[in-house]
Structure 1
Amino acid sequence: MSAVSLPCDAPATARGVATRLIRLSALGVALALLGGCAAMSEQECRSANWYEQGQRDALAGQPRSRLADLHEACAKAGAVPNDRLYLDGWSRGVHQFCTPDNGARWGRQGRSYANTCPPELDRAFSDRYRAGRRGWEAEQAVKRLQGEQRDKQRALDQAKDDAARRQAREQLRSIDWRLRDARDELDRAEWQLRQPY
């Protein structure tokens, strides 16, 4: 996405329009990313390469049951997915998806796992996914506590009397301890992720 830049002395309305365009572009990107979860359009149903679609869905962590959703969506377009090609592609994609490294990455990104992997691949993927997810959760806790810390520091800076300042300092100390523990948990999770599987 290319940036829109206007001089600082541009009229406020022009800057406002540029800002709205940037926000709309970002929204469009977000919707396109979410579109992977939506059912296919009529045109996509008619022109789909079902092998590639199955492989793409598996690589996106979609379960085999996604095919039933595609049948329903494509029925409205008068198209019928090719089950054999889709499942062949899905099988290939799921073997690429269900690796320990991808499980760790998937969890570390905070993505949810829909129990997509077949039993023979699930344990290795799930173990690393859980380790990655612990790292993501620890990172979220650190960020949340850092936000609380900033808010409390502002409250301390704006406190008008000794009692309010004392209370804000006590709360900051408590947050500091919790933040230290959260950082330790993040370090442990990251260390675990660096260990060979």
Structure 2
Amino acid sequence: MKINFYNLSHNINRGTYMKKTILLLISPLLLSACQTMTASECQTANWAALGSQDALKGYTSRAESRQDSCSKQGVNISATKIQQYQQAYAQSIQQYCQPENIFNLSLTGSGSISACPEPNYTKVKPYHQVASNYYQTQQSIKYTKQDIDRLDDQLIKEDDKAKKEKLMQDRISKSRELERYYDELKQAQVQLEALKNSFR
């Protein structure tokens, strides 16, 4: 099945998508900015395994930050070990940045494409957008329902008329918000199924 990725990605509400996913994009970058290692870890680490591990978690390369961390521990890391890290990382990031993998991870809120090199980044972007949008919409529904339950509890306990009216208005607003999220979920479901079919 041929998917029109341009139309698919543009059908997602851009403002909503950006607000919902900005933390998903930033978090791996922050995590990869600094990697602390103990002196013992620096001395015994398999640097090829570390490179593969970081790539398969969707991090940008941590070779430099790991090397700096070891240097602060008084352990010098050889150029050979750094090369082993980089080679393993380069191989594993290609494995990580595959459409189906990104799609499945993004459905759980853990997928990130910030470390994916081109042309992989462009290839996996629609899968990440659609799956992340679906996940975040589900989360919005979950938390909005919790807000409504909280307001219902407050309405039962509140005796003051003015405060009760305010709570009722808040509940109406949240109910409308919930309806909007359900509409978004229906749209996201259609996009989700289209991408699922592309794997078959």
Please give the TM-score of this superposition, normalised by the length of structure 1.
0.71
Write the distance in 2 (CA, Å) between the matches of 1:133 and 1:163.
40
Question: Which residue of 67, 70, 74 maps to 2:70?
Answer: 74
Structure 2 residue identity aligned to 1:135: Y
Q: Is the 8 A contact 1:104 1:193 kept in 2?
A: no
Give the RMSD, CA atoms, in angstroms. Answer: 2.3
Q: Does 1:55 align with 2:69?
A: no
Listed as ranges, the matches of 1:72-151 within 5 Å are 72-75=68-71, 76-80=73-77, 82-111=81-110, 113=112, 115-151=114-150
**Higher CA-based Rg:** 1
What's the secondary structure of 2:112's corresponding residue?
coil
Please say if 1:40 is aligned against 2:40: no
Count of aligned pairs: 161
Contact 1:61 1:116 in 2 (8 A): yes
Q: CA deviation at 1:127?
A: 1.8
Shift of 1:165: 4.4
Distance 1:135 1:148 in 2: 20
Determine the structure 1 residue equivalent to 2:158.
Answer: 159
Q: Which runs of 4+ in 1 moved over 6 A?
A: none
8 A contact 1:53–1:86 mirrored in 2: yes
Distance 2:74 2:123 in 1: 40
- 1:108 deviates by 2.7
Same amino acid, percent of matched pairs: 22
Give the distance between the partners of 1:98 and 1:143, measured in 2 at CA. 29
What secondary structure is seen at the aligned counterpart in 2 of 1:62? coil
Q: Deviations over 1:12-64 (max 9, x none)?
A: xxxxxxxxxxxxxxxxxxxxxx9xx7422211211121111111110011112
Higher relative contact order (CA 8 A, sep 6+): 2
Structure 1 unaligned spans of 5+:
1-33
Between the aligned partners of 2:105 and 2:177, the Cα distance in structure 1 is 27
